[in-house]
Structure 1
Amino acid sequence: MSAARPSDPAALAAAVTSSLVLAHDPVSRAVAPDYWDWSADAHQSTAKALTALGDEQVRAETDRITAHPDDDGAAARLTARLTDLLSRPGDPDQAVEALRAAAAHTETVSRLLVRPGAPDRSAPGTPPGTAELLAALARPPHGGRHPVDAAVVIPFRAPDGATGRTRNLAAVLGALADQSHPRERYRVVVVETDRRPRWRRLFADACDSYVFAPDDGRFNKSWTVNVGVVHGARPAELVCVLDGDILVDRDFVARAVERFRQPGTQAHWPFEDMLFLDPGSSAEAVRARCLDHAPDPDQDRLRGVYLRRPPGGCVWLREDLFTRIGGMDERFCGWGGEDQDFVWRVERYGPMDRHRDPAFHLHHDRSAHRGDDGVPFYEEVERAGFCSWPCDSDFGRLDRNPAS
């Protein structure tokens, strides 16, 4: 096997367990359907190679995970046993060597890695409700329009009855209210886009600026963010484009502000890999961060799927850089493509750094990213060319959604 391929036994063992879980758990695969599709063959091959091992413990734990992909105890035991087997260099067992090669290949093509939770985790309790979370805000919004160090812009849409999305936004606002950076020095902007402001009454008093962007078409994240920057964020030195499902820690804003003090710094992702939590871990993380006011969730106990180096979810940049590139490309309509296009254009005009802060994505029902014909929503923009949005665009106009 090439010296350039992953070879650490523990890492390969974790990758094998991850492939087995992904092969049998639709919830884990749904974290990033495109990324699963692009690496599914490798994961399936690794899971198949695992079944060829003659080790009795491996077979027993494999059977348990196949039947119950969320069995964290079985995942821990399987990974430990595989680490032992893969730690024997030059093992004469061809099945072990085939598994080693399959796992190494998977780790060269996959952006998904399942992270099992702590084996001794208790069963998740009742998830906190939206009203409960909003009532527990650590500090009230200031609502000011004065210049600030940073403005966090959160695009949002949720139909009636979408308790997951509203709960997540309430949790995000709770985490942003509990920051070590002075509260009056950052602004939290929520931009709701829909045919009517169905959640205004719930969230308008929980953020510094609530903006409604009327639109009854498919969700247009780009236009929604642009509206938030133009009509809610300014004046601000920094802009953070934050999805309404990203649970941040207490030093989230302070770290970003400090990093931008470094000369030449124009933009960054605060994370390397993002942990997409399952429903139980989402509830656990929200309760710890927003109700118990822990500085951060206990990552070591949480179960989810790492998405490696995602392009979006949370991007920090200087407001003048956002403006120089014409904001986000408003032609994207429906989920998919807009984040990748945005960061490509950001990095063209200002260097983007990537840090290794923890990042947690709360569980919610997934939105469609393709039309009924199976074509991705972003294909029309892709044909026109990624990174073709003009820098001099008159972006963020409330009276015009170009994709509608």
Structure 2
Amino acid sequence: RSLPGDLEQAARISGASSFTTIRTITLPLLRPALLSAFTLTAVANLSDFGIPALLGSPARFETLATMVYRFMDSGTVDNPLQVVSTIGVVLLFLGIAAVFADHIVARFSASSLQDTGASARMELGPARVPVSIVSWLLALTITLAPIVGLAYRALLPAPGVPFTLDNISLNNFANAVSNPRVIDGFQNSAFLAITAAIGCGVLGWLVGILVTRTKLFGNTALTLVVLLPTALPGLIIGVAWLIFGRYTGIYNTVWVILGAYICAFTALVLQAVRAPLQNTPIAVEEAARISGAGPVRAIFSTTAMMTIPAAISGAVLVLVTAVRELTVSILLIAPGTTTLGVQVFNLQQAGNYNQASALSLVFMLVGIVALSVTLKSPKVGS
């Protein structure tokens, strides 16, 4: 949406087809973003715990995250905390390299062209119908098929019961939401998610202002430090806060989980506000200075206020992510501090697939609502 549309229009006027325009204009301009997305996606898959734990572990397919959890949970190695910490140090250096590479790409490879209007909409011609069919089939297979599977399991009273209208029941939903541990998990997750969203929103907003609108020494290093947790597996962050909690007296409390959440998710807000802050013209701050405002007031009364919606959007994303979080908190929970994501995991591990499916469907509804809130609208005319 942010690509300058005049280049694509110039290519079309020169006789290039839609495919040629995409290949020679659009994709080269997208190259830095594609590389950044590839890096972040690869790191996210490296750090994921829930999917490989539920699908891979029964088939003895182990990933780094499940291995770390096994070391910490089952005591299959001597001094598991020391072993996992060593793994964490290695991953820390890999994470630093990944974040630094992403920063270099974003800084030196991004296009400096001015946005001259809405991106061009290209006609597909005869390919419109087959492209639409393939796109819909892929989208429905990737998203709808697992949801149908969840609904199928959640609406049956017990495993192995035939799926008929007479057997459809909402008891799994009632039992799941009335489960005392699920209620505790919901209350803890709601508190943690709301508090983390507020903390990350304010902190990410302030850091974004600091690194984009000031010439403070070390701005680049500060940006990399905030972004670093996004390049580390969540279990490693959990282990780090487990060690930190033991030395600070917050171990086995809800506060160690909250600290881990703020550490892990502040980058989401920083990434949301950094682009608007960088694209806001300096003239608005200069106008405030001419009107008599000091340097700090000029920034906070103009640019900072204009980016509050982006910070709120990032905070909502933190809220949704924290509510369903599993990877960071799986090692930090204690009696009375369990979370909703951990309860879904525990139900699945205990073989209660029907209630786990019902609770997962509730998660899905929360995710859809949050997605509708955070989804950006297209530019006018696009």
What is the TM-score of this pair, normalised by structure 2?
0.28
Structure label with greater radius of gyration? 2
What is the TM-score of this pair, normalised by structure 1?
0.27
**More strand by proportion, 1 or 2?**
1
